Structure 1
C-alpha cells in the first residue's frame, strides 16, 4: 500500500481542531500539520441546551478553512466527529445539516463510549504498552462535559465509568456560585471530590493504583505552568502539587499571558487541576503519565485499526469484552452458565455464516448479549430478562455506540419475549436494527436453552448444514431430555428469520 494523506477533524466542545497525517505501511501515521480554533459549543449546550446561530456560523467558517488546508495537502480521506456539545444539543440534527450544506463536510456524532475508546486506541498506539508489567493504572480522559475513568491491570481493562464533571461543565456551572478565585476553588473542590470519592468507594476499593494516565490537551497546558520542574512525560505527585497551587493562585488572564496558553483554555486549567489532584488524593498513584494524546490522534488510530494498518499487535475487541465482563461480575452472573451459553452462541453463529450474512461486529454483539443475558436476576429473579435489558440500556460499555448497546439490550430482551412485527416493535427498538436483533436473538435463544438445566451438559457440538437444515450433534452421555424438549419450543423464530430448521441430535445416549 502506498502512503496516503488523511485528515482527522474534531468538532469539540471548546475548540475545533484538525490534524493532517501521512500514513505509510511501515511507519504508521506521521503528523504533518495541526490547526485549531476556539468555539465554545459546550458553553452553549450546557447552559441553554442548544447551539446558537452565532456559534453555528463560526463552526462553518472554521471548517471551510480546514477544507482549504485539506486541499493544500491533497487529502483524499478524512473523518470528522463531534462529541458531547453537539450530541447533547436539542438542535444537533439541524447543526449537522447546516455544516454539511455550508462546508460539504460530513460530521458524525459519537457516543461518549466511542469517543473515549478512540482516545484509548491513540494511547495504546503511542505507548505500544511498553510498560505492560505495570499493574493498576487509571486512564483519566477529561472532556468538556465529563470525565472518563478507566482502570487497567497490565493491558487488561477491568473497569470504566463516566462521571459528569467535565472541565467546561464545571467551570460554567459553578462560576455562578463563587465570585472570587478562592471561593470558586473551594466550591469546585467539594463538587469534584464528591464524585471521585464515590467512584473510589464503588470501584477502586483496595486496588493499588500505581499511575494516572492523563490524555487530552489539558495536561499539556498544566505542564507549562512549571517550566522550572523540567517535566517531560511524567509528573510526580509532588510536582503536580506545585502545579496545582500555581493554577489555584493565578488568574486565567495571568496564566494565558505568562505561559502562552490561549485564554479560553486557561479558564479550564483550574477545574482540570482540581480533577487530577482529587484523584491523586483518593488513590495511591505515584505519578501522572502524559503521553501527549489528543482526540485527533484517536480518530486516526481508529481509522487505521478499522483498515488493518495500525502498527500494534492488539485486538481492541478484547477490551470491549473486558468492559462487559466487569458488568457481569458486578451483577454476579452464574459464570459457568454464561460461559457455556456464550460459547454455544458463537459456535452456532460460526456454523452457518454463508446464510446469516452477519460480520465480526455482530458476532461481538452476540457474545456480549450472551455474557449479560442473565445479569438482571441480581435485581429481580422474577423479572430477570427485563432487568437485564434495563441494566444494559443504562450501563456504558466502552467501545460500543449507543445504537449497538441498544441492539444488545433488545437481543437479550427478545431472547425470552415474543418478537412482534417490525412496525409493532419499533417503539421498543428505538434506533436498533430490527433484523439484526431478530437474527441474533434467535441464535441466543437456542444457545440459552442448550443449558436450560444450568449444568453445562452440552459443551461439545458438531455442526452440519445441508438443504437448509442445521444439525447440531451433541457427543455426551448426560441426560439432555430437558434441553432437547425445550429446544423444540424455541426454534420458531430461528426458522422464520433464516428459513433454516435447527435440529438437535445426541450421538450417544445413556
Structure 2
C-alpha cells in the first residue's frame, strides 16, 4: 500500500472531533477514532470555545496517530453552521497557534454536499440501489436535510430549519406542561415538515429511505464492520414505541447514548416516521457513511484517484432553482454551452481552473432567474435570489462569485463605483470580472432567445479574438448585443473580440 495514498480526514462538529485514515484510491478505511464528546450547552455557538483545550489535545493525539501510520497528508474541516465568521476566525487562530493545524470551515451547503457525496461516491453501496428512488435523511443540530436520488443520480435536496438545537429548547419548555409533551413535539415537527407532503407525493415505485448517522439505531442494528444495513419496519416501530414511553435513563442504556443526547432520540424517530410516510418508502436502511466519507471521496477526486464529476450535484441544484423561477430552458442551455466553450478555448488567457469553470456553468444557468420578479434590472433580482439561496456544495465565497456574476452579466459592469464589487477582495474581483466577461459574450450570442447559432469556433491569434458563429439566420441583433457586451472583455484583457458569421444551410 503506497503511503502517498493514505490521507487523514479530520472533522469537527459541535458534538466531537473525529479522525479517519483512509486509502484515497480504494476508499479502504484504515483507522477511525474520535475525541470524547463535547459538553453540550444551551448556546451551541459557545461549544467550540469552551472545548478549546479538548480540541487541541485531540488534534495533538491525531497528529501522532497519523505519524505512526506514516500518513503525511491530512486536512482539518469543521462545521460553521452555528458560529459567525468573526468567531470562526478567532477560533482558527487559537487552534493554529496551539496545535499548528489549520481549520477549513464548512457552511451548511458544503456539509450537505459532502453528506450526499458520501453515498453517491461509494460506488458499491450506491449501485446496490440501481433503478430505485433513494431518499437520504440526516438530522443535525442546525437542520434536517433530505436528499433525493434517482437512477443513481442526484435529484434534489431539501434543507429544513428543524434541528436538534431547536427541538432541545422545545422539549425543555414542555417539561412542566400539562399537555402530553410527545404529542406537542410531534405536532411541531409536523408543522415544519408538512410542506414536503405535496412535493414528495406521487409514491414512486420501489422507493427506500436511508437514515444517515442515526446513532441510536446504528448502535443496535448496524455492525461496526458494515456501512449499510436494512432495518425492518417492525423493528423501527418497536424502537419508536420504546423511545416515546421509556425513562431518560432507559433510553441512555438501551440506545447507548450519553444523557446530554438522550432528548434527541424521540424527535429523531418522529421526524423519520413522518418522512417515511411522505416518501412512501417500501424499505428503511441505516448507514454509517457520513460527511467524513464524503470528504474522503472528494479529496480522492482532487488527488486524481477518480475522474468522476461530482460537480454535477451543484449543477443539478442550480438547474432546480432555474426551473423553479423560469421555464425557458433552451436559452440558458445554449448560453451555458457557449460560455463553457469560450472558457475552454481561452484557458491560456484567463488562467482559471476547473472550479471556476463550474462556477461559470452555474452562473450561466441562474443568471436570468430574476426575470420571474421583473425584467427591469432582472440581473439585480437574480443576484439577491442567489444570495438568499446558497447552492449545495458552494462555499460562501463561491456563492458570492455566482451572485456577482449574475448581477453583472447584463448591462452594468463590475467596477469601483459598484458597491457590491468594490467591497470584495481584489483577487475575487478579478475572478468575477473574468467570468462575467466570458458570460457576456455567450449571452449576447443568443440575445434574441431564438437559438440561431448551431456551432461556434473561437480563435485567438496575434492578440485578436475572433468568434465565428455558424447559422443560417440573420444575426444582426446578436452582433449588436455582442459589440456592446464585448467592452468589458476588451477592458480586462486589452483584446477586442469580434463576431463573424458563417452562413449554413437551414
The answer as to 2:191 corresponding to 1:197 is no
- Of 128, 145, 148, 2:145 maps to 148
SS at match of 2:458: strand
1:484 aligns with 2:479: yes
Q: Is the 8 A contact 2:120 2:152 kept in 1?
A: no
Separation (CA, whole Å) in 1 of partners of 2:364 and 2:393: 18
Unpaired runs of at least 5, structure 1: none
CA distance in 1, matches of 2:178, 2:243: 10
- Distance in 2 (CA, whole Å) between partners of 1:291 and 1:196 is 23
1:285 equivalent to 2:281? Answer yes
- How many residue pairs match? The answer is 497
Map of 1:30 onto structure 2 = 29
Superposed CA deviations along residues 326-357 of structure 1, whole A, max 9, x for unmatched, are 11111123111111111111111112111110
From the superposition, tell whether residues 294 and 452 of structure 1 become closer, same or farther in structure 2 (CA, over 3 Å): closer
Distance in structure 2 (CA, Å) of the matches to 1:3 and 1:181 = 61
Would you say the 8 A contact 2:221–2:231 is kept in 1?
no
2:391: which partner in 1? Answer: 397
Residue 478 of structure 1, CA deviation:
0.4
Q: Does 1:339 align with 2:333?
A: yes
Deviation at 1:31, TM superposition (A): 2.8
Q: State yes or no: 1:81 paired with 2:77.
A: yes
Contact 1:20 1:33 in 2 (8 A): yes
| SS in structure 1 at match of 2:296 | helix
How far apart are 1:423 and its partner, in Å? 8.5
In 2, are the aligned partners of 1:149 and 1:161 still within 8 Å (CA)? yes
Pair 1:368 & 2:368 matched: no
Once the 2 structures are TM-superposed, how far is the Cα of residue 252 of structure 1 from its aligned partner? 3.3
Which residue of 1 is the match for residue 229 of structure 2? 233
User: How far apart in 1 are the matches of 2:482 and 2:88?
Assistant: 46
Q: Measure, in 2, the Cα distance between the counterparts of 1:309 and 1:9.
A: 20
- Offset of 1:9 from its aligned partner? 1.5
Q: 1:244 to 1:348 in 2, by over 3 A?
A: same
Task: Give me the whole-angstrom Cα distance separating, in 2, the residues matched to 1:24 and 1:346.
Answer: 30
Asked if the contact 1:126/1:291 (under 8 Å) is kept, the reply is no
Instruction: Indicate the residue corresponding to 2:352 in structure 1.
Output: 358
Instruction: Give every structure 1 segment of 4 or more consecutive aligned residues whose post-TM-superposition deviation is greater than 6 Å.
Output: none
Q: Which region of structure 1 is more displaced relative to structure 2, 207-216 or 75-84?
A: 207-216
* Counterpart contact for 1:222–1:269, Cα < 8 Å: no
State the partner residue of 1:452: 447
Counterpart in 2 of 1:18?
Answer: 19
Partner of 1:211: 208
Q: TM-score, normalised by structure 2?
A: 0.90
Answer yes or no: is the 8 Å Cα contact 1:174–1:184 preserved in 2: yes
Give the superposition deviation at 1:398: 1.6
Shift of 1:17: 1.7
**How has the CA–CA distance of structure 1 residues 505 and 89 changed in structure 2, closer, same or farther, with 3 Å as cutoff?**
closer
Residue 171 of structure 1 corresponds to: 168
Helix, strand or coil at the partner of 2:77: strand
Structure 2 counterpart of 1:69: 65
Q: 1:252 to 1:20 in 2, by over 3 A?
A: farther
Deviates more, 1:253-262 or 1:186-195: 253-262
Q: CA deviation at 1:132?
A: 4.6
Normalised TM-score (structure 1): 0.89
Q: CA deviation at 1:178?
A: 3.0
| Counterpart secondary structure, 1:462 | strand
**Corresponding residue number in structure 1 for 2:2:** 2
Q: 1:258 to 1:182 in 2, by over 3 A?
A: farther
Instruction: Pick closer, same or farther for the CA change 1:10–1:168 going to 2, 3 Å.
Output: farther
> Which deviations, in whole Å up to 9, do the C-alpha atoms of 1:440-498 show, x marking residues without a partner?
11111111111111111123112211011111112222011111112111111001112
Distance in 2, matches of 1:76 and 1:252, equals: 44
Distance in 1 of aligned mates of 2:160 and 2:178:
24
Indicate the SS of the match to 1:139. strand
Cα distance in 2, alignment partners of residues 13 and 142 from structure 1: 13
Query: Is 2:196–2:278's contact at 8 Å kept on the other side of the alignment?
Result: no
- Indicate conservation of the 8 Å contact 1:12/1:85, yes or no: no
Q: Deviations over 1:288-327 (max 9, x none)?
A: 22232133222222211211225xx742122221111111
- In terms of mean alpha carbon deviation, does 244-253 or 132-141 score higher? 132-141
Task: State how far apart, in whole Å, the 2-side matches of 1:61 and 1:422 are.
Answer: 49
- Return the alpha-carbon distance in structure 2 between the equivalents of residues 52 and 13 of structure 1: 7
Match among 413, 428, 433 for residue 428 of structure 2: 433
Pairing 1:96-107 to 2, within 5 Å after superposition:
96-107=92-103
Residues 243 and 258 from structure 1, CA distance in 2 versus in 1: closer, same or farther, beyond 3 angstroms?
Answer: closer
- 5+ residue gaps in structure 2? none
1:85/1:505 CA distance change after superposition, 3 Å: closer
1:261 maps to: 257
